[in-house]
Amino acid sequence: MEAAESDLASSDSLRDQISALEKKLSSISSQHQDFEVWPESSEGRILTIAGARLQCRGGVKVLTGPVIGKVGSTDARVLLEVNVEAEITMFVSLVDEDVPNGRVIASTKKLCPARRPVAITVSNLLPGESYVITFSGVDRESAEARVGQFKTFDLEERALRVLSVSCDRPDKTLSGEPNMWETLAERTLRKELPHVDLILHLGGQVSMRKAFEDR
């Protein structure tokens, strides 16, 4: 009995040591990335975001996206559109308490046609975890600005927090009126509030009422 308890205590101690080591390595890696000067390359500057080293390519701009589509417990779909045909690499980084700056756990390449949205699927994710997606092969401005994030569903959770929107026309917003999308962005980005699991768009962006009004 005493031997079993001793083994259990040793196991817990080893787990704590490994966790502390991971945090220390993450901190060192983050500091190194902050002060490292990335070399110039033939296609442009290399930068790092969420642990991913991104090769910037001048002239390749992201027109749409990343749009996070269906997210399950172990997979997710992302939509992206670029201005010219280019091979794009999407990196998926896991973000958690041990490595808050992110570490790359998967990447996938996709030949994107010019001005045609494509869907990129990533699988073998962990349930209930937060991920950041970045893109290599686009220009620096797009690489820095077009960063997505999502959280996979935790099948063991019993609660689901949902926001729903409809009948929104940002171009029809008058001066001084609240912008619904700005309100949503502010709400979902506030870390001190409970996280939002799902946003449902219920349609109504194109108002058909006037088309059926009697003239």
Render pLDDT for 33-77 as a digit per residue (tens, 0 to 9). Answer: 443 333 444 455 888 999 999 999 999 999 999 999 989 999 999
pLDDT value at residue 2: 54
Region for 59 from its dihedrals, namely left if φ exceeds 0, alpha if ψ lies in -120 to 50, beta otherwise: left
CATH class belonging to 40-153:
mainly beta
Residue 91's Cβ-side half-sphere holds a number of Cα atoms within 13 Å equal to 23
pTM of the model as a whole: 0.70
pLDDT value at residue 9: 59
Residue 162's Cβ-side half-sphere holds a number of Cα atoms within 13 Å equal to 8
Which amino acid makes up residue 189?
L
* φ and ψ of 212, to 5 deg: -110, 5
- d(CA 21, CA 97) in angstroms, rounded, equals 13
Q: Check if the beta carbon of residue 64 is closer than 8 Å to that of residue 80.
A: yes
pLDDT value at residue 134: 97
- d(CA 179, CA 43) in angstroms, rounded, equals 39
pLDDT value at residue 30: 46
pLDDT value at residue 78: 97
Q: Which residues, including other chains, have CB under 8 Å from residue 47's CB and lie 6 or more apart?
A: 38, 53, 54, 56, 140, 143, 144
Q: Check if the beta carbon of residue 86 is closer than 8 Å to that of residue 42.
A: no
Q: Check if the beta carbon of residue 81 is closer than 8 Å to that of residue 114.
A: no
Q: Which residues of the chain have pLDDT under 70?
A: 1-44, 205, 207-211, 213-215
pLDDT value at residue 87: 97
